Structure 1
Amino acid sequence: MHFKWKYVPPTSDELRLAGELSEKLNMSPLLTQLLVKRGITTESAAKQFFKPQLADLINPFRMKDMDAAVDRLNDAMGRKERVLVYGDYDVDGCTAVALVYKFLQQFYSNIDYYIPDRYDEGYGISRKGLDYAHRTGVKLVIILDCGIKAVKEIAYAKSLGIDFIICDHHVPDEEMPPAVAILDPKRDDDPYPFKQLCGCGVGFKLMQAFAKNNGIPFSRLIPLLDFCAVSIAADMVPVVDENRILAFHGLKILNQNPSVGLKAIIDICGLSGRDISMSDIVFKIGPRINASGRMENGKESVDLLVEKDINEALRKAKHINEYNEQRKDIDKHMTEDANQIVSRLESQKHQSSIVLYDEHWKKGVIGIVASRLTEIYFRPTVVLTRDGDLATGSARSVMGFDIYSAIKSCRDLLINFGGHTYAAGLTLRWADIPTFRKRFQKYVEEHIQPEQTEAYLRIDAIIDFKDITKKLYNDLKRFSPFGPSNPKPVFCTLGVYDYGTSKVVGRSQEHIKLELVDSKSGVVVNGIAFGQSASARYIKSRRSFDIAYTIEDNVFKRNQVQLQIEDIRPRKSE
């Protein structure tokens, strides 16, 4: 794939601010320009960015209903009531349940956890789950990463004598469920200053408030921050402000002393002994936690995450890894099917969105397929499968387009829906899909901007190979953890040449291993271009080209860096 490159040179004011910061921080002006682009223009803000402090976490009692939530939890524990920690079956839900359960279990034994079965119960609070709670004597449910729209279900629970504390981060409806407390920073009436917490983050804030109220040292919460880092990365929430603090310290725990369950996943992933990044969570750790919920039941992931014995954890991790292998196979075939449908439907090529459905597609994998189609075609995508007379689906969006609002515009056709800007889920009648498709596509067409449907690569800076030093790389690492709203910087070098040793590699000869030089120095730089073997012939012709890339550790050669090349572009003059 070739991108349109977008580079906005720094303004004179930005250059001045970057120069001032460069002197104060002893950092390259090249990197202080990146700080300024991120809105960091003072020495104190830069120090806060580079060294996020747990002391700067927001007081959890600023969140609406937090007092009521802590009071009800204290009452339940004082009366020795049975408490159920209930969560969604994805990474965010499973890590949230594991965090809350593990923390409370240190102080209270009459506690259980529950993850609904995706295939038998569907998303969110189910009658089956509530009946289980009632049957086992539960009086209080703490629900995580879902529940904000479960008005009928929580009313039913109330009739059974069960109270609810909701910890969610999805957009609420006008009517709120009759819960004892609703913790959701996206509530219109919530003064909490940071709105972008994930579900696990909201659960953490509840535990922070519970600890504060009961005189429990904050240090008892720190070992659980690895769950926060995993959920922040996997749920793709902005890695800024409070999320940055939680992710920064959570990654430290993940690398130095992870929980037993996460340690087992790290071993299974082949990440032991390596510096684990947010990218490793997104592509390796997260998919394995998700796999049990996609293929069977997400409770198996929580069983692993709360496990205390490393040998038992490794056994469970291997089992979940098998689910992930099955998932990859199904995902591959479903994506191929979906691609063929898009290719056949000529009309789709002229639409601003994609809506596909097939009654044989596996419910647990349609979200991945929607993501893949979004990446391939750069259009908001909805993928649906059949469940009796109903269709259940997942939606994914392109940068800057609010797919939740697009789905909400069709709410009269929907039985259920929920989500946020870039990802959502929905349920409707199978017979209503054609009408939904027409209405959804009309909304997208009227609201999407042309540039949102094109493959753009934003270039942060144009540099020469002589600028790529070990100090630059070490300073660059301080910008991590990377993620939405704090992406890994993309650099560009113009007029580079093959050193003569570049070659095509990979099982299917799909990648290029590069050794490059530019025209301004004799420095030879190593690089890898994944999936770009189509450019190999041009590269070997010894003509010059431009590259856009990120700077990474070379895992095979210690103390060396390599370029991960995102795009290769022949020189225009040639």
Structure 2
Amino acid sequence: MRWTLKPIPNSETVATLQNALQVEPAIASLLVQRGIETFEQAKYFFRPILSDLHDPYLMKDMEKAVQRIEHAIVNNENILVYGDYDVDGTTAVSLMSSYLLTDYPNVATYIPDRYDEGYGVSFKGIDFANDNDFSLIIALDCGIKAIDKVAYAKEKNIDFIICDHHRPGAQIPDAVAILDPKQDDCNYPFDELCGCGVGFKLIQALASKKGQTIDDLIPYLDLVATAIGADIVPIIGENRILAYFGLQVINSAPRAGFKAIINQIKKDTLTITDVVFIIAPRINAAGRMKHGQYAVNLLTESDVAIAKQYAAEIEAFNLDRRETDKQITQEALQQIEDLKDQDRITTVVYSESWHKGVIGIVASRLIETYYRPTLVFTKSGNKLAASARSVKGFDVYNALEACSEFIEQFGGHKYAAGLTLEEKNYDGFKRKFEEVVLATIDKRLLTPEIIVDTEINLNDITPKFYRILSQFAPFGPSNMAPVFMSDYLKDTGYGKCVGEDKSHLRLTVKQDESQQLVCIGFGLGDKLDVIKNNTTFKAAYSIDENHWQGNISLQLKLQDIKG
């Protein structure tokens, strides 16, 4: 691991903010690092309010979208709400369909089959709309590149409204309205919304025409917060407000589907991290192992007893998903070993038998072992499909774009993307991808990095300090949980390896005459030698609470230690 200490912010700015807020210097420093320099900015950060959400009509084509939906309702048209099969797509479809259905019955949902249709808008989906007399499709979390599909729909007199957040290509579809804040000519003030977030802006615009306020839409925010967490979008600006209030809904008044999942896991208060690692994988498991419609059924069900049955089905999919991804990860790691591919700067593996639903998870697992841009391919019909994952700081989307001569279609983000290609192009693509990454990546990015916010002493860690830190949440990209560094630490003599396979490190540290604090380092069992024999060491860590037998104490969650 390489440790990068963030630049020390301007001392005068820190002192001014510290005085205005009456907080410790370390807290003021953390805030200034995050661009918060005044009392007013701190108030906006610590006390999110729904009235700070932007006017949805600032988004390009919003008026057109609202008018087309209102026209459909007046003329008794059938509306098909169409979305991708992942968490962002299924939550967006659940949000849009359940909102429209509150006062208009002619609404149905459609999630494409991951295996039969693949990602995004499909010809099969449009044929379904045509066969069932749908004249308007609202596409969520997909559609910005569906130029031929939208043209095909137009031939059948089916209109499209696209709500997407992916990067547009050089050409955009000929839709009635395209809501995507990443369009160059869209002047919406915040362009980091997820797909469900864009869908929320549309229902916000529709609601304002009906005389509803933002308070009427709060019950939908559990869906938006889940999508924000799962889609790894920056938790700043509007996303922070939506996630903040969405978490409140999840914890105080969740919809029946979320309640059924929460009852399974038996956890009192969920953080955004819990949403990412507990709720999102279960919702995702439906589309990965069976069909995304199962997730929509769960998230739109109002009967608690039925939701409980749906949640049990999805839990079974999730257990199946875990077993499958564990097995494929082992096979992929073995393939890398057998091919002696460790010298490559990229990881590209393929087996026609791998389950398409978990290759994205497997790609992430491979990065944990071989930290480099990674693609996992499998057979999909008569083509090959892949999930791409990247290392921090490297734009895998741009790298794929540079290999487009071998690719049939692709889409995604800086750190995660998907693509399909013909089998005959696999070897050529693999060579080109290696060449492109080799030529463009900064080699330092191939070593995992810990960004350290600031150095502190153990005596700085008090209940008050932690209480203020916890108000920095919800954490996520662009607002990560603070990471601290402390030097001249010593183990008090009780350090040991713990866990079934002894892969974790548990110790109690002190710093000169400081207080003693318990530390847990997951996966750091091999660092036991660093702390032995009364030697001093330094640690990079975050601070959290340890709940044990009714007692709550502060502990350090180690990210790395060095002698």
Whether 1:405 aligns to 2:398 is yes
Which residue, out of 359, 367, 383, partners 1:366?
359
Which residue, out of 307, 317, 336, partners 1:342?
336
Tell me the amino acid that sits aligned with residue 282 of structure 1: V
Runs of 4+ aligned structure 1 residues displaced above 3 Å come to 537-542
CA distance in 2, matches of 1:133, 1:543: 69
Give the superposition deviation at 1:537. 4.5
CA distance in 1, matches of 2:104, 2:551: 47
Q: Which runs of 5+ in 2 are unaligned?
A: none
Give the superposition deviation at 1:465. 1.5
CA distance in 1, matches of 2:522, 2:84: 34
The number of aligned residues is: 562
Aligned pairs for 1:477-488 (under 5 A) are 477-488=470-481
Q: Which runs of 5+ in 1 are unaligned?
A: none
Indicate the residue corresponding to 1:81 in structure 2. 77
Which residue, out of 275, 283, 300, partners 2:294?
300
Tell me the amino acid that sits aligned with residue 565 of structure 1: L
CA distance in 2, matches of 1:503, 1:299: 47
Contact kept? 1:464, 1:520, Cα under 8 Å: no
Indicate the residue corresponding to 1:142 in structure 2. 138
Structure 1 window deviating more from structure 2 (543-552 vs 532-541): it is 532-541
CA distance in 2, matches of 1:86, 1:9: 45
Tell me the amino acid that sits aligned with residue 290 of structure 2: E
CA distance in 1, matches of 2:73, 2:393: 44
CA distance in 2, matches of 1:381, 1:230: 26
Aligned pairs for 1:440-479 (under 5 A) are 440-479=433-472
Indicate the residue corresponding to 1:384 in structure 2. 377
Structure 1 residues 25, 125: closer, same or farther in 2, change over 3 A? same
1:509-561 per-residue CA deviation (whole Å, 9 max, x = no partner) reads 2222322222231x221221112222235435433222111111212254421
Indicate the residue corresponding to 1:547 in structure 2. 539
Aligned pairs for 1:489-504 (under 5 A) are 489-504=482-497
CA distance in 2, matches of 1:439, 1:51: 49
Give the superposition deviation at 1:60. 0.8
CA distance in 2, matches of 1:189, 1:115: 29
1:94-139 per-residue CA deviation (whole Å, 9 max, x = no partner) reads 1111111111111211111111111121111122222221222211
Tell me the amino acid that sits aligned with residue 51 of structure 2: A
1:31-82 per-residue CA deviation (whole Å, 9 max, x = no partner) reads 1101111111111111111112211111111111111100000001111111
RMSD value over aligned CA atoms? 1.5
SS of structure 2 residue aligned to 1:509: coil
Tell me the amino acid that sits aligned with residue 386 of structure 1: K
SS of structure 1 residue aligned to 2:481: coil
SS of structure 2 residue aligned to 1:315: helix
Indicate the residue corresponding to 2:28 in structure 1. 32
1:159-186 per-residue CA deviation (whole Å, 9 max, x = no partner) reads 2221111001111112211211111111
Contact kept? 1:18, 1:41, Cα under 8 Å: yes
SS of structure 2 residue aligned to 1:173: coil
Indicate the residue corresponding to 2:520 in structure 1. 528
CA distance in 1, matches of 2:312, 2:460: 44
Indicate the residue corresponding to 2:230 in structure 1. 234
Whether 1:183 aligns to 2:179 is yes
Indicate the residue corresponding to 1:394 in structure 2. 387
CA distance in 2, matches of 1:88, 1:295: 15
Indicate the residue corresponding to 1:57 in structure 2. 53
Whether 1:162 aligns to 2:155 is no
Indicate the residue corresponding to 1:310 in structure 2. 304
Tell me the amino acid that sits aligned with residue 326 of structure 1: D
Contact kept? 2:378, 2:384, Cα under 8 Å: yes
Structure 1 window deviating more from structure 2 (220-229 vs 511-520): it is 511-520
Whether 1:356 aligns to 2:352 is no
CA distance in 1, matches of 2:478, 2:194: 15
CA distance in 2, matches of 1:514, 1:258: 38
Indicate the residue corresponding to 1:265 in structure 2. 261
SS of structure 2 residue aligned to 1:560: strand
SS of structure 1 residue aligned to 2:408: strand
Indicate the residue corresponding to 2:2 in structure 1. 4
Taking structure 1 as the reference length, the TM-score comes to 0.95
Give the superposition deviation at 1:241. 0.9
Tell me the amino acid that sits aligned with residue 305 of structure 1: L
Whether 1:430 aligns to 2:426 is no
Tell me the amino acid that sits aligned with residue 198 of structure 1: C
SS of structure 2 residue aligned to 1:398: coil
Which residue, out of 316, 327, 333, partners 1:322?
316
CA distance in 1, matches of 2:381, 2:293: 24
Whether 1:283 aligns to 2:295 is no
Indicate the residue corresponding to 1:172 in structure 2. 168
Contact kept? 2:530, 2:562, Cα under 8 Å: no
Tell me the amino acid that sits aligned with residue 86 of structure 1: Y
Tell me the amino acid that sits aligned with residue 507 of structure 1: E
Whether 1:418 aligns to 2:411 is yes
SS of structure 1 residue aligned to 2:29: helix
Contact kept? 2:489, 2:510, Cα under 8 Å: yes
1:329-388 per-residue CA deviation (whole Å, 9 max, x = no partner) reads 111111112112222333x33332222111111101111111122233221111111123
Percent identity over the alignment?
46
Which residue, out of 499, 511, 514, partners 2:507?
514
Whether 1:133 aligns to 2:129 is yes
Tell me the amino acid that sits aligned with residue 54 of structure 2: I
SS of structure 2 residue aligned to 1:190: coil
CA distance in 1, matches of 2:17, 2:115: 54
Contact kept? 2:372, 2:390, Cα under 8 Å: yes
Contact kept? 2:50, 2:214, Cα under 8 Å: no
1:446-497 per-residue CA deviation (whole Å, 9 max, x = no partner) reads 2111221111111111112111100000000111111011111111121222
Contact kept? 1:226, 1:251, Cα under 8 Å: yes
Taking structure 2 as the reference length, the TM-score comes to 0.97
Tell me the amino acid that sits aligned with residue 547 of structure 2: V
Contact kept? 1:269, 1:285, Cα under 8 Å: no
